[in-house]
Structure formats: structure tokens, C-alpha cells
Chains A and B, each alone.
Chain A
Amino acid sequence: MKRNSRVLASVLALSLSVTTLAACSSNNNGNNSAPSGTSSAGTSEAKDTITALLPPVSPTYQDNFEQMAKDFNALYPNLTLKIEPASWEDMTQKLDTQVNAGSPPDIAFIGSEGISKYVQQGMVMDITDAATPEMIGDFDAAPLEYMKNGNGIYGFPAYMEAHALGGNKAFLEQAGIDYKDVQKNGWTYDQFREAIKKGVVKDGSKTSRYGFVFATAGVASKDYLNILVKNAGMPSPFTTDLKYAYTSNNYLEVLKDVRQLIDDGSMPKELSSVDAGKRWNMFLTGQTMITGKGLATFENSANKNNAKIEANDGSAVQGSIKAEYIVLPVPSFLGKDPVTTVAVDGYVTFRGKKEPTAEHKANVVKAAYYLASGKVAATTNNDLFVAHITKTGKEAAASMIVNRNPDNVAAVQVMLSHAAPARPDIPVELGAKAIKLEDEVIIPKLQALIAGEITPQAMYDAVKKAAISTFGEDGVVKE
């Protein structure tokens, strides 16, 4: 026993000594930039460190971490901003583990739809009393609403991005679609259906170009349906009196339309396994006229590929053609008003097991605000081609140049003007049940519907049955 513990001890000692060496070197890397005692205002306040878990929000975002931390420290000499980088899809899992363990970072960049889940765990920090009126006033009202839950505000938004469709300009013109009018005034489902029918090009019995392709493989299928139902009078899974909305007949109608577009031959019958990469490839290679979901950066991506085709050096996507990317709105259903699906992501504030002190809270808010406004926000949002949602961000961006199609910029503005409103009034338990219902019933059934294995009616019945057993007869919409 003695021998073994000695060996163990030496192994431990070895690894620990390696550790301390590493710690030394990392200290040298990071901390020598701190300007010690340069500001007399700062010395009166206690030192504090704020940790932030941040994904690569934009392609250059993570490159700027050191500069961000340095600038923040210059602004508040007593505060240190410690940024942990993480990749986009992995950070949720890291954050969730940290939350489950009771030790999340102070700030994490996540989608606002995630807030309710953390509210339920009691691990997010309400910053209502710590955020100054100037900070609050800097943000546009609509995106800020998305950071609320109940009466609390749980961080600051970074941007509000519209989920749109994207069309190939040449193909749209060939099919005789007045896309400029659609950008301004939107379109109905019937108009859309006819338009994408015209976009289909056949090569004998095989379709060489589809009218419309949406990424629906795996879990992405829920994006598709969510974007559509918002335009069918169901802007949220819950009505204003908190009844579950997806039991309404309109839902069934949308499901029928989902099937119809495939049966028309306007969308591929293999749609159920088209993923995000595949459909973008189909767009660039001219296999589809319209694609979804469309994000603002796609314009940039298409432009880059065009330049490569021009250069003709074999670096362009195999078989791709020049394509001008046109932002298009999602059609509206059953005469309802169009409602744009938006993604609001932002800097959400967390707490640990111990109640945070007022001072630490104020410091965290300073850091979150620093990241969500002014120069940092302006650079990031420009990188992403998304609109600025803070006054300070707009000012800082005034001098930066972005190369975008002005029609697209205007189209996005129109869409954002009827963005789906935030619903902080939905109680967290209700929201959690809806998410579970979506994962365990709606998505699987939708996949089967798109694959042509069940009828719209069968899916609707399954959703309705599950909804009634979850929310009760009185908890769902009946019409």
C-alpha cells in the first residue's frame, strides 16, 4: 500500500508541477497589460473579475477577445473581463453542465429562447435594479423584450436577426416573379405556391431545378414549421390568454400546405434529409430557385463564390453558377398578417450558488453592456450583416462601410417591422412543457410528414392528443 501511494503521490506531484508551470506561463501571457493604478477613480473600488463564455458570434469575433478584455480593463481599471472561447454548438452543453453543477460563468452568449430554461433552474441573474436607465434606453425596445422573463431582465440583446428566404435573382426573373414587389409587400401562400411552381425546371422526367428547398434534416425541421406557422396567426405556441395554439385548425391547414408543396413537385420529395449545407450547395449550383432559412450573411457567402467563379481557379464550389442573393419574406397563410420569425441572441447574465453581491452584480452588468453596445456591437453586427439595435452601436457603425444590396437591406427592415413580439409573460413551466412536446411529438411527426409517411391529419391528431394530455382540455385552443 505504502509503495503504491508513493507512486500515486509522485504521479500527482508530476502532474501538479506541470500544472503550475503552465499556470505561470499563462499568467505571463494574459495579465501584463493591466495598467496598474493609472486611474484614481478606479482605486477606490474593489477589484473584481467577470467571466464570460462566448462563442464565435461572427467570423472575426473571437480574434478580438484580447482587445475586448484590454479595452474593458482600460474603461474600468478595477475590473477584469475573463473571456472563455467555445464553439457555437458545444457551448450550450458546457453551459448546461456548469449550470447543473451550480457554477456558471457570469455572462454567456446564448439565444434568448434559452432564458426560460435557466430561469426554471434559478440560475440566471435578474439585472433590473442593476442596469442604469441609460443602458436600458440605449437598446431598441423589441429585442430587449426578448431578454425578459416574467418581470425580470436577464441580460442585454446583441442583435435581432430575421429568418427569411433567399432567392436567386436570375431565376426569379426567369420565372417572372416581381421580387422587388414581394420584398416590399410580401406574398400569400397561394402566390408563393404558384411562383415556386414556375421555378421548377425539368430535364426529361428528372427535376434539375426545384422551386424551393428548405433545410429540414434532423432537428432543423422545427425551424421550417415554426417560421411558417408564425404567418398563420400563431406568432407563439401560446395565445395571449396562455392557451396552447397548435391545436387550432390553422395548424392543420399549414401542415397540409407543407405536404402540398412537395406533392406539387416544387420541393424535392427527399426534403426530409436535406441539411443546411446541402441546401446551400443546391442554391449555389442552381438546383433551386429559393432556399430557406435565409440569413443575412448568405448574401456575403454568395458574393464570395461569385468572385471565385470569376477568378476561375478551381476554388469555387464544384458545379456552381453565379448567383445574386435576394432576400425574400416568408409567405402568409389563410389571410393572416405576416409575422417575421426573429432570433434574438444576447449576453445573458448568470448567478452562482451564492447570492451575488450588489457590487458584483453591477460589475457584471457593466461588462454585459460593454459587450452588447458601442464599438463591440457595431463591429460584430457589421460582420454578420445584421441590423444594429443600440443607439451607441449605430453611432459607432456610422463610419464603417458594409457592401450590401440596398434592396435586401430595405427588405429586412420591412420584415423586422412586423417581427414576432417577445412573450415574457409565458410562465417557465408552460414554456418547458411546450418545448418537450415539440421535441417528442412535433419534430418526429413532422419528419414523418415531410418524408411522406403520415398524412397532415394524422400529425395534427397526434399533436392535439399530446397537447391535451399535457395542458388539459381547457389549456388548448379549440376552433
Chain B
Amino acid sequence: MMQATKTIKKRKVKGDAGWGYTFIAVALVIFALFTAYPVASAFIISFQEYKPLGSTFIGFDNYVETLSDSLFWKSIRTTIVYTILTVPVALFLSFAVAILILPLKKWMQTTFKAVFYLPAVASGVALSVVWLWIFDPMPSGILNKLIGTVGADNQNWLGSSSTAMLSLVLMAWLSSHGTSIIIYLAALLGIDNSYYEAADLDGATFLQKLRYIVVPCLKPTTLFLLVTGVIGSFQVFQNAFLMTGGGPDNATTMVGLLIFNNAFKYFEFGKAAAQSLILALLIAGVALVQFKFLGKEVEY
């Protein structure tokens, strides 16, 4: 590190732009090699009928086919519904938990943080087994027992198209928010006390402080969680894959699952690439809106 600092001193004259490029250099090299290159390959492949022993260019066929495929659109709709139902709720829950933890005693804060962070640590396989048990269709299943106590009928949670999506959403609501909670907490702790002190002098209530200090200060964090949350949700396929296999009657077929099937099950790699790029475009559109509404840098 000493040596590194020395080299830097020599370059001091160059000005800030030079520093900017220097600072992002490593990230860019790694990005170019391991992300940009594969993405560019996928872009080329999307115009091909891909075969490992020699692909043929077929122009826009993959795109045309995708755009006229009703299952693709259905899966996009399903994915959007899932995203709308899960991402904002998850975000709100994490925010609420992070706020609620704050006034507690230190050891309780620690305990709760650990508790909420825990599920993120457990392997997905273990979690999916538990959730299958919770959604057990027989009267002996946990959720069925639970609703049975209030006299409701036995439900075929994952097996019926009226409840399958609901079940996946429920799972998303109650599964780990550990990541978001921790990121929100970090942001909350970063808010300078002087703001609250000033507000206290003005006699502000808790809600006013929340509204005028916390929410604006957490905007960049919210933007980050929203954008990454939406990206994650649009690409999600594991839960549907493990829990319902996309069924029944394609009620839970997410676009991620469709792309996966095209790439590997049917070896239509070109088509999968085309669908991915269309999906990316869609996410980019959503992200653009988010940036527009939340993206203004907060300056003090």
C-alpha cells in the first residue's frame, strides 16, 4: 500500500478526471472481461441459431418469434404481477423493521438484527423444503391447520391456480428481508443526529421527523433497494421452479423460468438470449422511471 500511495503522489497533477478513471479502472477491467464480454456474446447469439459446432445467423427471427409467443407475454404479465405484489411490500416491511429496531436497547437491537438476518444465511434448499411443508395440501399441513382453526376450508395451496401465486407471494413476504433490513439500518445510522436535534428544537413529532428527515435521507437507499429488488424479482425463477414448476396451467411461469428452459431444456440458446435482452430492456425501462422519481442526489 505504501508503494501505491507513492505512485499516486507523482500523478497528483493530472486532476480529478484522471483520478476518476483510476478509481474505476479495476472495476471496469473485471466488468469488461466477466460481464460485458458475456453480455456482448449473448447479444450476438440472439441473432443466431446457436450450435456449439457452428452457429448460423438468422437475423431477427428469434426476436420475431419471441414477440409473437403468447406464453412469453403471459410469463411477462405473471412476473410483473409478482414484482408489484412482492417488491414494495418487502421494502416497506424492511423499512418498518429497521425503524422499529432503533429505539430498543442495544442487546435487543443486536438480537433482532441477527434474527432477521438469519434466514438469508440458510441455504435455499432447506428453505424450500420447509415451505413445501407449510403449504402441504393435506389437512395435516401447517397452513391448513392454521386456517382450519378459524373454520376455513382446506386449501390446495400450490396445486391450484387460484392460490399458487398467492402462496409464492406469501413466501416472499415472510422470507428473508435480512439484506434490506441491514442496508436500511446502515443508512439510518448514517443520518446525522444534528438533524433530529434541530427538529426537536422545533418541536417536531415522530411522524414529522420520519416524513421530513428519515424518508428524504433514505431516498438513495430506497432507490438502490428498489432497483436491485425489481431486477431480482424480474429474474426470479428458483422459487417457482422448486415449488410449483411454473404450474398449474402456467399460473406461476415466470419469464426467468422460460428463459432457463429455452437455454437448457430445448437448447434454443439464441431464443433465450433474445428473450433476455427484451427482458433487460423492460427492466431498464422500469429502472429509468425509478431513477426519475428517486434519483435526485440528496445534498446537504
Contacts and interface: CB of A to CB of B under 8 A. Distances in A.
Classify A-B as touching or not with yes or no (CB < 8 A): yes
Interface of A: 1-8, 92-93, 96-97, 99-102, 117, 120-123, 206, 217-219, 221, 268-275, 277-278, 282, 287, 353, 432, 435-436, 439-440, 443-445, 447-448, 450-451, 453-454
B160 A121 contact: no
B158 interface: yes
A8 B249 CA distance: 51
A323 to B, nearest CB: 18
B159 A447 contact: yes
A101 B139 CA distance: 47
Given A117-B267, A218-B247, A271 B159 contact: yes
A358 to B, nearest CB: 19
Interface residues of B, number: 43
A183 B264 CA distance: 40
Interface string B31-75: 000000000000000000011110000000000000000010000
Given A218-B244, A272-B159, A272-B248, A1 B22 contact: yes
Contact of B7 (A3, A102, A353, A450): A3
A123 B247 contact: no
16 contacts: A5-B25, A7-B4, A100-B52, A100-B264, A268-B137, A270-B156, A274-B159, A277-B132, A287-B138, A435-B266, A443-B247, A447-B249, A448-B161, A448-B249, A451-B160, A451-B248
A217 B132 CA distance: 11
B256 interface: no
Contact of B8 (A3, A287, A439): A3
Contact of B51 (A8, A96, A122): A122
Contacts of A2: 7
A164 B265 CA distance: 26
Contact of B264 (A5, A93, A102, A219): A93
A273 B25 contact: no
Given A272-B160, A353-B52, A451-B161, A444 B250 contact: yes
B245 A273 contact: no
B156 A432 contact: no
Contacts of B137: 268, 270, 272-274
A95 B5 CA distance: 47
Most buried by B among A122, A268, A440: A440
A122 B245 contact: no
Given A123-B52, A273-B158, A7 B26 contact: yes
A273 B7 contact: no
B135 interface: yes
B51 A121 contact: yes
A270 B8 CA distance: 68
When A and B form their complex, which 9 residue pairs have the shortest distance between CB atoms, in order from nearest? Answer: A218-B245, A273-B159, A272-B159, A270-B137, A447-B248, A102-B52, A448-B249, A447-B247, A219-B245
Nearest to A5: B25
B157 interface: yes
A270 B267 contact: no
Given A96-B264, A268-B138, A278-B136, A451 B53 contact: no
A412 B160 CA distance: 35
A196 B53 CA distance: 53
Given A270-B154, A353-B53, 15 more contacts: A1-B22, A7-B4, A100-B52, A121-B53, A206-B139, A217-B158, A269-B156, A272-B247, A273-B157, A277-B132, A278-B138, A435-B266, A439-B261, A447-B247, A448-B249
A118 B103 CA distance: 61
